[in-house]
C-alpha cells in the first residue's frame, strides 16, 4: 500500500479497487489489519488466493482472504476459514476444519477430521494424527508430532508434542 491508512479509501475509490489480500504472517496482526481495512472500506472484498498448482477435494470450502500456496493438498469436505494461510506443500486431509486466521507452515500434514482453532499457527513440517483438535490461539513448534488434543492458548512442540507454556490472547509469535 502507498501512504497511510487514511489514504486507503481514496486509493480504493480512485483506482476502482474491489479486492485486497492481506499478506501478514502473524495471525493476530493479520486480523487486526483486516478489521481496520473493513472499517475503512466496507465494500472491499477479500477473495481467496489459490495457487493453480494445488489439489482441492470435492466439498471443500475456503474462506475469504485465505491464501493457498503451491503444492497444497486439501482433501474432501474440509473447511478453511477466513484469512488463513495454507503454506507450500501443506496437506490438510479429509473432513478437517481450519479456523479463521489460522496458519499452516510449509510441509504441515494433518490426518483426517482434525480441528485447528482460530488464530492457531502450526509450525514447519508438523504432523497432526487423525482426529486431533488444536485449540484456539495455539502455536505448534516446527517438526512436532501432535498425537493428543492441545488446549487453547498454549505453545506445544516435540516428538510427541507436549505443552511447554501458556500464551496470552493475541501474543505475537513471529
DSSP character at residue 66:
-
Q: Tell me the residue ranges of DSSP E strands in the chain.
A: 49-50, 55-56, 61-62, 67-68, 73-74, 79-80, 85-86, 91-92, 97-98, 103-104, 109-110, 115-116, 121-122, 127-128, 133-134, 139-140, 145-146, 154-158, 161-166
Q: Check the annotation: does 25 bind a ligand.
A: yes
Selecting among 83, 94, 130, 169, the annotated active-site residue is 94
Question: Is 83 among the residues known to form the active site?
Answer: no
Q: Which residues are catalytic?
A: 94
Binding residue positions for substrate: 25
Binding residue positions: 25
Amino acid at each position: 500500500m502507498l501512504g497511510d491508512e487514511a489514504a486507503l479509501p481514496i486509493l480504493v475509490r480512485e483506482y476502482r479497487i474491489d479486492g485486497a489480500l492481506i499478506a501478514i504472517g502473524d495471525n493476530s496482526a493479520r486480523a487486526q489489519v483486516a478489521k481496520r481495512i473493513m472499517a475503512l472500506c466496507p465494500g472491499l472484498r477479500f477473495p481467496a488466493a489459490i495457487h493453480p498448482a494445488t489439489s482441492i477435494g470435492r466439498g471443500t470450502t475456503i474462506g475469504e482472504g485465505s491464501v493457498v500456496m503451491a503444492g497444497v493438498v486439501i482433501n474432501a469436505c474440509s473447511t478453511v476459514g477466513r484469512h488463513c494461510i495454507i503454506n507450500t506443500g501443506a496437506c490438510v486431509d479429509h473432513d478437517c476444519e481450519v479456523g479463521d486466521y489460522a496458519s499452516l507452515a510449509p510441509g504441515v500434514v494433518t490426518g483426517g477430521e482434525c480441528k485447528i482453532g482460530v488464530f492457531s499457527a502450526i509450525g514447519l513440517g508438523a504432523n497432526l494424527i487423525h482426529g486431533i483438535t488444536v485449540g484456539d490461539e495455539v502455536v505448534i513448534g516446527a517438526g512436532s508430532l501432535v498425537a493428543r488434543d492441545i488446549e487453547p492458548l498454549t505453545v506445544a512442540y516435540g516428538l510427541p508434542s507436549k505443552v511447554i507454556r501458556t500464551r496470552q490472547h493475541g501474543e505475537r509469535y513471529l
